[in-house]
Amino acid sequence: MEQGKDRKARRITSAFVAAGVTLGVAGGLAALTTTSSNAATAAGCTAVYSTTWDSGSGFGSQVVITDDGPAWSNWTLSYSYAGNQTLQNGWNGTWAQSGKTVTVTSAAYNGAVASGGTVTPAGNFTYSGTNAAPTSFAVNGIVCSGTVPPTTPSTTPSTTPSTTPTTPPTTPPTTPSTTPSTSPSSPGGGTGHVANPFLGATSYLSPDYTGEVNAQVAADQSSNPTLAASEAKMAAFPTAVWMDHIGAITGAGDSVHHGLQWHLDQALTQQQAGTPITLEVVIYDLPGRDCAAIASNGEIPATAAGLTEYESQYIDPISTILANPKYSSIRIVAIVEPDSLPNAVTNQSKPACATATPFYESGVEYALNKLHAIPNVYNYVDIAHSAWLGWSSNMGPAAQEYAKVARATTAGFSSVDGFISNTANYTPTTEPFLPNSTLQVGGNPLDSAKFYQYNPYFDEYDYDQAMYTQLVGQGFSSNIGMLIDTSRNGWGGPNRPTSLNSAPTTVDTYVAANKVDQRPFRGDWCNQSGAGIGARPTVQPYGASNHIIAFVWIKPPGESDGDYVTATHSHGDPHCDPNGTNTDGNGGTYSTGSLAGGDVPAGQWFAAEFQQEVTNAYPVL
Ligand code: BGC
């Protein structure tokens, strides 16, 4: 896992004013309005063009077109670039380019647009030189008149976010609630498909993980019995089973981690009569996996043959095991491909990600199809975290990307039960002393602090609420549930602020004094120094009506995020090197924040990390 190593590709641009109208865009959306007027309006269109990301050599764009005339049964949008912008891929329509002219033809599902209706084709491009926005658009051959040439967006944001994050309604409970709070919906256990698989269920405790924990407890017992006593408590909490390579399906050659069937059999032995049990399994082996980093680079190449291998050697065997009727009482929560589709939004300037993206999309589509076909499997698709996709310029395109992949599945949107944020990351669920990203300090909004870089989403609670809205807006069911991986986002210990400090007079000093997230940079993601165990796995942490249906522990705390290159071995990721740096894409350079001595391959036990996370648990263990 290497969440967050995408931020080089993220660029902050400003909104600007066209035709005397401030277009309500923030945090990175450059916009151009072309409007029809009077008679022309009757048959015309409105087109709002936005640059959704721009790395300097690649960019994403979308065009919101509104039908200002009679209904369309199909539509073709055309426009031209002035420079050498070259189409890579597009969605919400069939994209083509001839010379400088781009055309998008409606897809079967979005050709019909009512009068006043809108449709939003979007695509990714490469370019060199200047990335000037197009200045004229036509739909079905009719020019949307009243074109106003755009101003080149500056690289410094000047607007406040369009969405003000909300404050969580309640403090999450500090005690786990993995025991049933309602009676099971089906007497035999997990058979059937319920809205919240965690509700009314007990949770699988992986003996692999409890074994790792207990070994550490034994090692620390005599030297530090107080620490060992806290560590021992960790064996009571459910963590996910990771299928991080084809070999993990059988568990062959791994003395610590067993195969999938073994875990399911263990779950059956743990299951109490008449009560469903949940088991979380991470689907994580796409072709070209981890395209933006090294720590968790995959085993399958990003090629057509690799996709076939993924489908036939990885997803098919997993599906066959999960579909065994003897496991039908287990509610299997599938965490689908962490860190994959977000790269389609923000990392297209990296060749490895641009190459991998079509295989990510096809692979996730295939996985969703096979897994959704099993009634007791629940699909939760990874949506990275607030520090990756929180900018409005990333969030909307991300929601479109998820919708595009879901729509391509046989069952469409129903193949997705929900989404998970913060998988294996460290972003806090809430920033209790920074509830308002637009709070003015020294004349500037808090999100203008260097730590936030104009990202209005400071924490996972606000991010998940906003993503929920975006995703439902793109067509997902309003019944989707949101999960947060809280395994390592506690940030307790002596450095955690305990009350609001309102004295600092600049945004940077105010944020530094009040944030619980102790990372030097929100893009740091590998074996973080100072991190602590977060909220315990909890069902409905904010009550039954909140879209966040559970806190879960997907990353087993104590297992490393990755190693780094040293004199003795060449494998490794510089993002994990405690002496290395990460960059923010705007010229800023920061410490990786990685723990010293963390030269431990991804997924293997890192004792010092576990000891620190237990020590800094919040709430305390
Ligand atoms: C690694 C996997 C590992 C998992 C659980 C991920 O970051 O890439 O190999 O199984 O963490 O520790």
- Tell me, in angstroms, the distance from the centre of ligand 1 to residue 244's CA: 7
**Residue 172 resides in a domain:** no
Question: Of 285, 561, 577, 599, which one is the catalytic site residue?
Answer: 561
Question: Mind giving me the DSSP string for 379-395?
Answer: EEEE---HHHH-SHHHH
Q: What is the atom index within ligand 1 of the atom nearest the CA of 559? A: 12
- Tell me, in angstroms, the distance from the centre of ligand 1 to residue 620's CA: 25
Three-class secondary structure of residue 353 per DSSP:
helix
Same domain for 123 and 265?
Answer: no
Question: Mind giving me the DSSP string for 558-590?
Answer: TB-S----BTTB----GGG-TT-EEE-SSS-EE
Same domain for 239 and 107?
Answer: no
Among 125, 144, 163, the domain-final residue is: 144
Residues 6+ apart with CB under 8 A from 507: 441, 442, 444, 445, 446, 448, 449
Dihedral in degrees, nearest 10, Cα atoms 418, 422, 428, 434: -70
User: Hey, whose CA ends up nearest to atom 11 of ligand 1?
Assistant: 603
**Residue 589 resides in a domain:** yes
| Residue 242 and residue 284 in contact, taking contact as beta carbons nearer than 8 Å | yes
Same domain for 118 and 220?
Answer: no
- Tell me, in angstroms, the distance from the centre of ligand 1 to residue 249's CA: 14
Distance, CA of 546 to CA of 540 (rounded, Å): 7
Put simply, whether the predicted model's pTM sits higher than 0.75 gets the answer no
- Tell me, in angstroms, the distance from the centre of ligand 1 to residue 2's CA: 10
Distance, CA of 483 to CA of 423 (rounded, Å): 9
Q: Which two tokens stand for residue 286?
A: 């796409």
Distance, CA of 400 to CA of 398 (rounded, Å): 5
The pLDDT of residue 406 is 98
The pLDDT of residue 275 is 95
**Residue 179 resides in a domain:** no
Same domain for 426 and 341?
Answer: yes
Residue 579 has pLDDT above 60, yes or no: yes
The pLDDT of residue 88 is 67
Same domain for 248 and 333?
Answer: yes
Q: What is the atom index within ligand 1 of the atom nearest the CA of 295? A: 8
Is 524 marked active-site?
no
User: Hey, whose CA ends up nearest to atom 5 of ligand 1?
Assistant: 603
- Say which CATH number the domain at 77 has: 2.60.40.290
Q: pLDDT of 485-509, one tens digit each?
A: 999 999 999 999 999 999 999 999 9
- Tell me, in angstroms, the distance from the centre of ligand 1 to residue 229's CA: 26
- Say which CATH number the domain at 367 has: 3.20.20.40
- Tell me, in angstroms, the distance from the centre of ligand 1 to residue 66's CA: 45
Residue 11 has pLDDT above 80, yes or no: no
User: Hey, whose CA ends up nearest to atom 9 of ligand 1?
Assistant: 603
Same domain for 124 and 238?
Answer: no
Residue 211 has pLDDT above 80, yes or no: yes
Distance, CA of 429 to CA of 467 (rounded, Å): 14
Lowest mean pLDDT among 178-192, 247-261, 600-614: 178-192
Question: Mind giving me the DSSP string for 155-203?
Answer: SS--S--SSPPPPPSSPPPSS---S-SS--SSTTSS-S--S-TTTT-EE
Same domain for 133 and 211?
Answer: no
**Residue 319 resides in a domain:** yes
User: Which DSSP category does 246 fall into?
Assistant: G
**Residue 169 resides in a domain:** no
Q: pLDDT of 292-310, one tens digit each?
A: 988 888 899 999 999 999 9
Q: pLDDT of 332-376, one tens digit each?
A: 999 999 999 999 999 999 999 999 999 999 999 999 999 999 999
User: Hey, whose CA ends up nearest to atom 12 of ligand 1?
Assistant: 603
Percent of the chain with pLDDT over 90: 69
User: Hey, whose CA ends up nearest to atom 10 of ligand 1?
Assistant: 603
Q: Which residues form the domain of 561?
A: 196-615
Q: Which residue matches tokens 């576990």? A: 610
Three-class secondary structure of residue 33 per DSSP:
strand
- Tell me, in angstroms, the distance from the centre of ligand 1 to residue 594's CA: 16
Same domain for 462 and 399?
Answer: yes
Query: Residue 581 phi/psi, 5° resolution?
Result: -135, 155
**Residue 150 resides in a domain:** no
Same domain for 392 and 479?
Answer: yes
Question: Of 54, 339, 382, 459, which one is the catalytic site residue?
Answer: 339
pLDDT tier at 46, thresholds 50, 70, 90: confident
User: Hey, whose CA ends up nearest to atom 6 of ligand 1?
Assistant: 1
Same domain for 95 and 212?
Answer: no
Three-class secondary structure of residue 42 per DSSP:
helix
Residue 41 has pLDDT above 70, yes or no: no
Residue 60 has pLDDT above 90, yes or no: no
Q: How far is CA 341 from CA 219, 371, 460, 478, in A?
A: 40, 18, 18, 21
Q: What is the atom index within ligand 1 of the atom nearest the CA of 561? A: 7
**Among 418, 46, 358, 389, CA closest to 196:** 418
The pLDDT of residue 106 is 87
**Residue 178 resides in a domain:** no
Is 447 marked active-site?
no
Same domain for 217 and 118?
Answer: no
Based on the structure, what is the number of domains in the chain?
2
User: Hey, whose CA ends up nearest to atom 7 of ligand 1?
Assistant: 1
Ligand 1 neighbours (beta carbon < 6 A): 1, 242, 244, 296, 424, 555-556, 559, 561, 602-603
Going through 343-457 in order, the beta strands assigned E by DSSP cover: 377-382, 418-421, 440-441, 444-445
**Residue 493 resides in a domain:** yes
Which of the two residues, 289 and 146, has the higher pLDDT score? 289
Same domain for 200 and 140?
Answer: no
